[in-house]
Amino acid sequence: MDEQEFVAKWQAERTRGAFLALADGAVFRGVPFGARIDRLGEAVFNTGMSGYQEILTDPSYAGQCVVLTASEIGNYGVNPEDVESRGLFLSGLVVNDLSEPSNWRATGSLDGYLQANGVPGIRAVDTRALTVHLRDHGSQRAYLHVSDEPVSPEEGVARARAWEGLDGQDYAAKVTCDTAYVFNPETASAKRIVCYDFGVKTNILRNLAAFAQVTVVPAATPAEAVLAHHPDGVFLSNGPADPAAVTYAVENIRVLLGKVPIMGICLGHQLLAIACGAKTGRLRFGHHGCNHPVKRLETGKVEITSQNHNFAVGVESLPACLEVTHLNLNDGTIEGVRHKTLPAFSVQYHPEASPGPHDSVYLFDQFKAMI
């Protein structure tokens, strides 16, 4: 098949009725795959070249339709080892070219994985144009249509506009565990950490379990119940949506501050900052990818980081008790803070994802030393 024939075939496939409709009126057509159900979600783009299974199983993507900017997706399939949580939490997946798996680690295809887990996907989308649109106009409320329901693009836009979106929404309550559990009971350590599950990733728990026994508790667990575990440290996990909506977590963190060392990542970073008096705000199109440069101010070194968030701690709102430890070199946003007098620190990015690959592992060592 020559280039002209390929383009003609690709354009023909996109006329079959599936589309992603954005609240600003833009519509991007494609071909359905995965589960044949329609979903509402916030359309965001992720610039990672790989890691789609980690994205699918990261609870921080709850409520989002993720647009992957890499041109070919699916070529290494899926496998049980790369799962980051108990399920898939994103609203939908948008790709350009869906490939069949051809990797020795693969135990299934991306298409089959989405079908089995009830997540819709759309392929043959002009993801370059879609990414540019989201970059220029910001993340968008979206309606993904891949079902047999007779929905017009105009109706899809109307449904996207009517959706409440993620602002002011507590999605941590939707993705957290139901009951407390010990992550790795065989861990031979006298140190004990309690991890608040706002949407925690498995590899974070692995890093913590390397030096402590880890008890994971639901997002709304009262601070008094956490202290009853007699922890040597408390960890605030990553999670989805708007940190300002997770008010109960902020109140619990305020009780814990000064009583026990605290470390936070992503949503946990934002919640710690709010508990100390800072405010958070929405970014235009967020940070989603595994190639974000972050400067560690203490050493001047640059770390290549993995990130997934739509909100950030406001520079102007930072209270006197906090000092900035890391900055994003793309847009100057805060990527890390440390309390000046209490044992507490946090970072906006994901050191456990290791895109550097080892640029940020020292953060877990810092927490270990702190406790």
Shared domain check, 158 and 11: yes
pTM: 0.94
Out of 127, 162, 197, a domain closes at 162
d(CA 275, CA 298): 24
For residue 47, what are the domain limits?
A: 3-162
Shared domain check, 317 and 256: yes
Per-residue pLDDT tens listing for the chain (371 residues): 676 665 565 555 555 589 999 999 999 999 999 999 999 999 999 999 899 999 999 999 999 999 999 999 999 999 999 999 999 999 999 999 999 999 999 999 999 999 999 999 999 999 999 999 999 999 999 999 999 999 999 999 999 999 999 999 999 999 999 999 999 888 878 999 999 999 999 999 999 999 999 999 999 999 999 999 999 999 999 999 999 999 999 999 999 999 999 999 999 999 999 999 999 999 999 999 999 999 999 999 999 999 999 999 999 999 999 999 999 999 999 999 999 999 999 999 999 987 777 889 899 999 999 99
Three-state SS at 35: coil
**Does 167 map to a domain?**
no
Out of 128, 144, 162, a domain closes at 162
Does residue 201 come out as left (phi exceeding 0), alpha (psi in the -120 to 50 range) or beta? beta
Annotation says 266 is catalytic = yes
**Does 211 map to a domain?**
yes
Shared domain check, 244 and 122: no
Annotation says 177 is catalytic = no
- Tally the domains of the chain: 2
Shared domain check, 187 and 155: no
d(CA 250, CA 243): 9
CATH number for the domain harbouring residue 229: 3.40.50.880
Shared domain check, 119 and 36: yes
Annotation says 352 is catalytic = yes
d(CA 322, CA 255): 17
Out of 132, 162, 192, a domain closes at 162
Distance between first and last Cα of the chain:
62
Shared domain check, 147 and 225: no
Catalytic residue among 266, 292, 303, 339: 266
